[in-house]
Structure 1
């Protein structure tokens, strides 16, 4: 369950770190862990006082398990109460089929893990706090960048103790798709239209549940049923912008629509009695044309919001963090991070992001047919899908489970670090908008 991780150090009026990270999600926590593991001093600020947020990505992909293995954390993570899935089934136009078979991947990471994201983040926080250079400030909001004459020099943050400045050689925005820091940095994402939204809710499992099923897809609609042990994290795919219309029709009509799309839920749909139980996830696909400024970079959803399709958003955010750590650890040990290295990180990571977002965009156009009462696939296409499923399973296992450009941890032993003397922090008044 959730827990609150307070800083080991009391807030001070001004501090300097090697790196300060806004956002305690998967990207921010993995990056913070990697930097502290390398002997660097890093602060992660998270605006909430704990990690308990429902309706967040629960999937830990095989490539993330591989990264945890490279860090020596795999077995400790898998000792948590998690669900392992070796395959992903879907019921398409009434026919069950296995779409993804992770068993074709190289072991031992040949399965997908479902774990509430708060458990995953709590785990990373516990492991990171073993290292003296790691500092986690919960309940602390990043409110602005500290601009120097030529580069970003850190963050201004606000907590219950008031405002403080955290000065750093590199500032990282990992604060999600509504990132305040990318706006403060003058970076604006390009938006790519998405025709669907998702209504998220939790349901108990039926008394005789079917095999684990990712989705039910037909002309009656599309419903996600993500296994959480005793419950499903469920979602109904709807046409973008129609949630107010659905609410006006009433909760009973919503339950009817849900059961028509996924009859297996008829026994449990009655647990939905109030709109407060149903959350709107506005599906977005966007991407920053430029992720960085001198002394600053955005990663994860702050740099590129992914669709929930394939559940790869968490995976891609973590891959960003690993790629960034691999590049900046040697530079931070020498005292500075060049903008050329930040450009290299964006160049590397935006290639798989662009391709996956293009795949998601095409998938949305197919899925959107179910939101207006049309068959997603013709009978012939369903038969072809079943006949070709062994090939499809292998392709999707690599696309979903491994990704298009998987990253690997480059080991930088802390004891090998030869640190340069810290530069004298700028005076607090040294701020300028001309950081480009």
Structure 2
């Protein structure tokens, strides 16, 4: 399909959050006329349930958007991290002095979302339509050719060559387009809160893999630290009976954890007890899905924002010309779908498997234990945790051999005792 008549826009995007704003900017820069629809009326609206973590894999997209200086000015924290395991702490460090490992940023969505929305609104070719909820898709046969949008003044029809669903894990666009979907249950739940005056060792993010429970503490902009607990659902009755007591006790018992009692909690404890993973076919005739609408992963891994940025960029790169009437749209969307699967499919497969709250499998035990003992393996794990390499590169024969050699050096000696960092007090 190369074009239609009577179009209001080339592209309509449902959802003006991370994925939608990114796609709008990158498409408009390529000459595409974009309507960016947002159901909320407040331009400062933001997502609350989020890890506020932009994976290093997203840095090139942020750079492409031109947002790096603005993020730094807003106080976004470069996301260096260490991870606790039963073998001790994994602490990735650069190989040579003066170098830094790949990074992106920790930044609260209350800062990030309005920043992206403003950026999109300033971009020539983007029309931001607040207070517009997509309630239906317009069809020409089996092809989507626009949307039915609900506004404060009633419903209106908007037509375009391409409709993009950037409308989250419960995506109405995905449901209305009838794309195939696979759901994976999550055997963990999560709660988190924001704190001030909560020092962390070296001022960096900490993550605890307690098998099956997980937790993290991440410094963000404006001196705010996000502390999340992600336990097995077997613990859920206790949390339902006493949320605050259970949450605080969980954090107090983290090895080398933050001194939560000395910090000032500035938000309520919030979270979700049921967060399944969704894997959807990211295209249909006249429709593309990006961000959580295409792939909702386990929040444990903090990949949602990074994948939203990446998938938006991939779609813009593959489909901008066709969306503007300069090529075959179906072929362009097929290329996007292939790229999306190649880039994220393996990561999602592993995330869905680990969401069963199982203990580490043999490969994970091999790599995590070696990473706690060897800086080169720790750097390799950092690349995978940052989603800069996929599972096949992470578990390539050379990496497995290196990890095996590292662990063989420890065979015969006493088992390494877990290394507990001292609590850092104000």
Same fold per TM (> 0.5)?
A: yes
Q: Which residue does the alignment assign to 1:355?
A: 346
The separation in 2 between residues aligned to 1:224 and 1:200, in whole angstroms, is: 9
2:14 maps to 1:28: no
Which segments of 5 or more consecutive residues in structure 2 lack a partner in the other structure? 1-5, 392-426
Q: Which residue does the alignment assign to 2:383?
A: 397
The separation in 2 between residues aligned to 1:101 and 1:397, in whole angstroms, is: 11
Give the deviation of 1:362 after TM superposition: 4.4
Residue of 232, 245, 251 corresponding to 1:239: 232
Give the deviation of 1:281 after TM superposition: 5.7
Residue correspondence of structure 1 range 65-144 to structure 2 within 5 A:
65-85=59-79, 87-93=80-86, 95-98=88-91, 100-101=92-93, 110-144=102-136
Give the deviation of 1:271 after TM superposition: 6.1
Residue of 45, 51, 59 corresponding to 2:45: 51
The separation in 2 between residues aligned to 1:335 and 1:381, in whole angstroms, is: 47
Which deviates the most, 300-309 or 46-55? 46-55
Q: Is the 8 A contact 1:83 1:115 kept in 2?
A: yes
2:332 maps to 1:341: yes
RMSD: 3.4
The separation in 2 between residues aligned to 1:109 and 1:322, in whole angstroms, is: 23
Q: Is the 8 A contact 1:55 1:201 kept in 2?
A: no
Q: Secondary structure at the match of 1:70?
A: helix
Q: Which residue does the alignment assign to 1:260?
A: 253
Deviation sequence 1:127-176 (CA, Å, 0-9, x none):
22233311112232111111123411111111222221111111011111
**Alignment TM-score, normalising by the size of structure 2:** 0.77
Q: Is the 8 A contact 1:255 1:270 kept in 2?
A: no
Q: Secondary structure at the match of 1:129?
A: helix
Which segments of 5 or more consecutive residues in structure 1 lack a partner in the other structure? 1-13, 371-376, 406-436
Q: Which residue does the alignment assign to 1:145?
A: 137
| Number of residue pairs the alignment of both structures matches | 378
Residue of 303, 308, 317 corresponding to 2:299: 308
Q: Is the 8 A contact 1:51 1:118 kept in 2?
A: yes
Q: Which residue does the alignment assign to 1:167?
A: 159
The separation in 2 between residues aligned to 1:262 and 1:272, in whole angstroms, is: 21
Give the deviation of 1:124 after TM superposition: 2.4
Residue of 208, 216, 238 corresponding to 2:208: 216
Sort the Cα spacing of 1:325 and 1:255 in 2 relative to 1 into closer, same or farther, 3 A.
same
**Alignment TM-score, normalising by the size of structure 1:** 0.76
Q: Is the 8 A contact 2:230 2:300 kept in 1?
A: no
Sort the Cα spacing of 1:240 and 1:159 in 2 relative to 1 into closer, same or farther, 3 A.
farther
Q: Secondary structure at the match of 2:124?
A: coil
